[in-house]
Chains A and B, each alone.
Chain A
Amino acid sequence: AQSVSQHNHHVILSEAASLELGCNYSYGGTVNLFWYVQYPGQHLQLLLKYFSGDPLVKGIKGFEAEFIKSKFSFNLRKPSVQWSDTAEYFCAVNDGGATNKLIFGTGTLLAVQP
């Protein structure tokens, strides 16, 4: 069965610091990878996704993620965070099968201090 691990449960950064959130998945076949963000009190929104092609994926709001197949990883990065990036970040994976079943990691709460 697929699973997703996010090792950082809670990250605190100052504004302008660089961000990297870890995500590892377990599945041996072809995967589609996603990062979703949930701002306080809001619904989940897609930040970026990887299906195929260039393993470095750029998303909204200056976020990017790199798919490293050999490490089963899809880490999220941002060179300089802002206070408005304070949110919960979820990595997710599906196997591209018939059901589009998305498996989520446990989330990382990012708090950016002004």
Chain B
Amino acid sequence: DTAVSQTPKYLVTQMGNDKSIKCEQNLGHDTMYWYKQDSKKFLKIMFSYNNKELIINETVPNRFSPKSPDKAHLNLHINSLELGDSAVYFCASSQATGGAGELFFGEGSRLTVL
């Protein structure tokens, strides 16, 4: 069983479109995250939810909207896609906040905007 699973793994779309990436974790963790990895492999946190409550919201364009229907799911919706949104998006989860929890990552969703 995959601990943190993301769909789709690959996404190719045109500028201006709207797309969503879904994430599910079966580890029973309370906290979930979205990270963006750019073409230079730099990983930057975007959002974090703890038990469906938003706790980290970095400086991300408001075209990006996370949604957590329950603590096992954290989806990412992106409106009006731009070329610069091309990246690999990683979902992650951890057992705890407060720095104690190891992050478990999904396999990533590679988004290409043409």
Q: Which residues of A contact B (CB under 8 A)?
A: 32, 34, 38, 42-46, 49, 51, 88, 90, 94-104, 106-107, 109
Contact = CB atoms under 8 A, between A and B. Distances in A.
A100 B107 contact: no
B103 A46 contact: yes
Interface in B63-114: 90, 92, 94, 96-103, 105-108
B97 A99 contact: yes
A55 B80 CA distance: 47
A72 B99 CA distance: 18
**3 closest cross-chain pairs (CB), A and B:** A96-B99, A104-B43, A43-B105
B99 A100 contact: yes
A43 B92 CA distance: 10
Given A43-B107, A104-B42, A99 B55 contact: yes
Contacts of B4: 43
Contact of B41 (A32, A96, A107): A107
14 contacts: A32-B99, A34-B102, A43-B4, A43-B107, A44-B90, A44-B103, A45-B105, A51-B99, A94-B99, A97-B99, A102-B45, A102-B103, A104-B43, A109-B41
Size band of the B side of the interface? 20 to 34
Given A51-B99, A104-B42, A107-B42, 9 more contacts: A32-B99, A34-B102, A38-B41, A44-B92, A44-B103, A45-B105, A46-B102, A98-B55, A101-B48
B40 A99 contact: no
B111 to A, nearest CB: 16
A95 B42 CA distance: 20
Contacts of B108: 43
B31 interface: yes
B105 A100 contact: no
